[in-house]
Amino acid sequence: MTTQQIMAELQSMGSESTKRIFLNHGAKEPLFGVKVQDLKKIQKKVRKDYALSLELFQTGNSDAQYLAGLIADEGKMTKEDLRAWAHGAGWHMVSEYTVPWIAAESHHGFDLALEWIDAVGAHLQAAGWSTLSSLASIKKDSELDLDTFKSLLNRVEKEIHKAPNRVRYVMNGFVIATGCFIPALTSEAMQAGKAIGQVSVEMGGTSCKVPNAPEYIQKIIDKGSIGKKKKMARC
């Protein structure tokens, strides 16, 4: 399929009701309002296509950008590609999910994550923390720099309540991901979460809530699922 064909199909799949929901959650125009389950129908037909994913992301259309992440070939993504995606992400569904997922699956996730968390711009910082969370979820502990993850838990504890709105949300998610996916740091993540307490994030008038890190981690402990990794970050 070509970019033009896919954009036409996305337009036919879009609905005003879904578009309104996305806009209410912070999406920016342009978008058609396509449900993720419908995007995955196109994903099944295209599978992975590096060049096509870049073209779709460059359209700036939110639906196309999310689909670009679903069909991206992580092995071919360069740092320049991922930086362009991080800068060009239309809203947090893309900057905190699509971009971090592919960054984490690529060869450049850790380097870019550390670069982004210190970048100017809340959307880049959020992408960095989310990338770290995704790395924790898919990489073997032996492939992770646990000392850095531990030090970043301390950093979150000190900085989270002063961070920009969406950055607070993903920092909290980083504490949860570290505690749930890295058994060696579960205790440290629990301690950090308790010290942090409840995190306040403005969710744009939606019913979305910020999970309490210690409570969330404890649920995973109770299920006996600590350290169970995912096959891939994207979903």
Q: Is 34 helix (H, G, I), strand (E, B) or coil?
A: coil
pLDDT tens, 67-108? Answer: 999 999 999 999 999 999 999 999 999 999 999 999 999 999
Residues 6 or more apart in contact with residue 154 via CB below 8 angstroms: 192
Residues 6 or more apart in contact with residue 115 via CB below 8 angstroms: 128
The answer to whether the pTM exceeds 0.95 is yes
Q: Give Cα separations from 63 to 27, 34, 67 (angstroms).
A: 10, 6, 6
Q: CA–CA separation, 96 vs 124, rounded Å?
A: 9
pLDDT tens, 148-200? Answer: 999 999 999 999 999 999 999 999 999 999 999 999 999 999 999 999 999 99
State which amino acid sits at residue 172.
N
